[in-house]
Amino acid sequence: MIFREAVIEDIPQIQIVRHAVTENILSDPSLVTDQDCADYLTVRGKGWVCEVASEIVGFAIADLQDNNIWALFLKPEFEKQGIGKKMHDTMLDWYFSKKTDTVWLSTTPETRADGFYRQSGWAETGKYGTNQIRFEMTSESWIKIRAQ
């Protein structure tokens, strides 16, 4: 298992991972373009991937412009192996090394992601859009979590 910073050349495999998920499925896959991925990786923030046998099995992307976690996804067959947690922690360590602004994300209620974020210390702050919940993480909270 290799964890590394994502690069533009990873976008085709990142898209494969994004479309492989069984929860938080995109209602319209064409809404997340390769150019969107490139912008988030090179202009707006930074991303990380996990590779197994030269195949990307998970990715995470943080957005510094909107103080948002834009993505954290794994192929379903690679869940529950600690990959998501490692990418999550790497991403938040990086984000809070750049900014102290509260970071937020949204996900579908009552999914594995919902439980993952709650267990990881995110605070639910209300609804987002029509069918998502919003979570936030403060710099202070992240420092306490990492000290444990």
User: What does pTM read for this prediction?
Assistant: 0.91
CATH number of the domain bearing residue 143? 3.40.630.30
Q: Is the pLDDT score of 23 beyond 80? A: no
- Position 129 scores a pLDDT of 87
Q: Note the pLDDT tens digit of each residue in 113-138.
A: 999 999 999 999 999 988 899 999 99
Residue 58: other Cβ atoms inside 10 A? 25
Domain range holding 83?
Answer: 2-147
Whole-number average pLDDT of the chain: 92
Q: How many domains does the chain have?
A: 1
Q: Note the pLDDT tens digit of each residue in 66-108.
A: 999 999 999 999 988 999 999 999 999 999 999 999 999 999 9
